Amino acid sequence: MMPLGYLAPTTHRDPMITYRRMHRSEQARFAQVDRSERITQAYRQHGRELELVAVDWLAEPWSFPAILREWAPFLQDDCALWGAFDGDVLIGFCGYRPNVAPGTGQFALLHVSNPYRGRGIGRRLAEALFAYARAQEATALYVTATPTRSTVEFYLGLGFEPTDDPLPALLELEPEDIHMRMTIRAD
């Protein structure tokens, strides 16, 4: 039995939604999340500066198992996952990978289902991940953010800042993403 760890199973903010740690063997459940999004604004990164540009993108629902193949390098033994559930349906998740650089963990795979966005679910998942990272004695987090305005502003709101010193391996994997870092303090 995997401990819930660092995350109470329910939140006062939205009593319909429950949160728990997930095991990576549950990854097929990611298909339950509706990733769809119409995107009209996105950021481009120039070192620490961000430029907002108009775009016309449609993020389609995921194609399984292609998306799991893409995420396989992340979904290793040492990753930690959290899920948000409405009843038995997964409506959001995120993941943490330790030691992508000394003292630095990666915040990744964050997605909330389209109809559930803007209700604090992403922030609640992030808070669970931050607490876990602190307990693991990480002092910084790294994220490669999808460049859409909503996603980048979500991460800026959490305290991430664009970096002019991206991790080469992650930059090679995600050259169009916005690479950001955040210092985390001990509790």
Ligand X SMILES: CC(C)(COP(=O)(O)OP(=O)(O)OC[C@H]1O[C@@H](n2cnc3c(N)ncnc32)[C@H](O)[C@@H]1OP(=O)(O)O)[C@@H](O)C(=O)NCCC(=O)NCCS
Residue 21 or 151: which CB sits closer to ligand X?
A: 151
Does 111 help bind ligand X (rule: CB under 6 A)?
Answer: yes
**Which residue among 100, 153, 159, 184 contacts ligand X (CB under 6 A)?**
153
Distance between first and last Cα of the chain:
27
Of the candidate spans 21-29, 74-82, 106-114, 161-169, the one that interacts with ligand X by CB under 6 A turns out to be 106-114
Does 157 help bind ligand X (rule: CB under 6 A)?
Answer: yes
Does 159 help bind ligand X (rule: CB under 6 A)?
Answer: no
Does 117 help bind ligand X (rule: CB under 6 A)?
Answer: yes
User: CB 38 → ligand X: shortest distance, Å?
Assistant: 11
Q: Which residue has the tokens 């939604």?
A: 17
Those residues with Cβ within 8 angstroms of residue 17's Cβ, 6 or more apart along the chain or in another chain: 10, 11, 84, 85, 86, 91, 116, 119, 121, 124
Residue 132 or 142: which CB sits closer to ligand X?
A: 142
Phi, psi of 186 (to 5 degrees): -65, 145
Residue 29 DSSP one-character state: G
Number of residues lying near ligand X (CB under 6 A): 20
Of the candidate spans 40-48, 62-70, 112-120, 129-137, the one that interacts with ligand X by CB under 6 A turns out to be 112-120
**Which residue among 120, 131, 139, 159 contacts ligand X (CB under 6 A)?**
120
Neighbours of 6 (CB within 10 A): 17
Residue 138 or 152: which CB sits closer to ligand X?
A: 152
Does 34 help bind ligand X (rule: CB under 6 A)?
Answer: no
Of the candidate spans 24-32, 44-52, 96-104, 142-150, the one that interacts with ligand X by CB under 6 A turns out to be 142-150
Q: What is d(CA 75, CA 68) in angstroms, rounded to the nearest whole number?
A: 9
Cis peptide before 73 (omega within 30 of 0): no
Residue 39 or 101: which CB sits closer to ligand X?
A: 39
Residues making contact with ligand X (CB under 6 A): 35, 37, 110-112, 117-123, 145-146, 148, 150-151, 153-154, 157
